[in-house]
Amino acid sequence: MNKKLNTAVFLLVATVVNVALIMVLALVVFIPYILFVAGFAPGPVNLIVLVGIFLGSIAGSFPIYRKLIELLQKRIDFDKYFDPIVRPRSRRRN
């Protein structure tokens, strides 16, 4: 496989891992909330808590995802196997 295909596959797999991580974090908090608290709270409070759980799981997935990428970078030389997504602009002098 060439670098561009490696990059595309890596981005696809990394996206799937990130979404799965968000879902796991949301379920870890959501299931105990539903089992122990949701029956006692009024409807609007449940909605606010659900939105908070979703946003919290997104925010919580960032440091975990970043740590996973850092560990992967220690094991794999990204410059060797992946094409840069954004290339720096060439600076022209007038």
Could you read off the pLDDT of 26-38 as tens digits, one per residue?
A: 999 999 988 888 7
pLDDT band at 87 (very low <50, low <70, confident <90, very high): confident
Are 25 and 57 contacting, i.e. CB atoms less than 8 angstroms apart? yes
Does 90 map to a domain? Answer: no
Are 46 and 30 contacting, i.e. CB atoms less than 8 angstroms apart? no
Does 92 map to a domain? Answer: no
Does 71 map to a domain? Answer: yes
Does 91 map to a domain? Answer: no
Does 20 map to a domain? Answer: yes
Please give the pLDDT value at position 94.
57
Tokens for 79?
């410059």
Please give the pLDDT value at position 11.
93
pLDDT in tens, 40-82: 878 788 889 899 999 999 999 999 999 999 999 999 988 888 8
Please give the pLDDT value at position 53.
94
Number of domains observed in the structure of the chain: 1
Does 87 map to a domain? Answer: no
Rounded CA-CA distance 42/67 in Å is 38
Does 37 map to a domain? Answer: yes
Please give the pLDDT value at position 70.
94
Please give the pLDDT value at position 93.
65
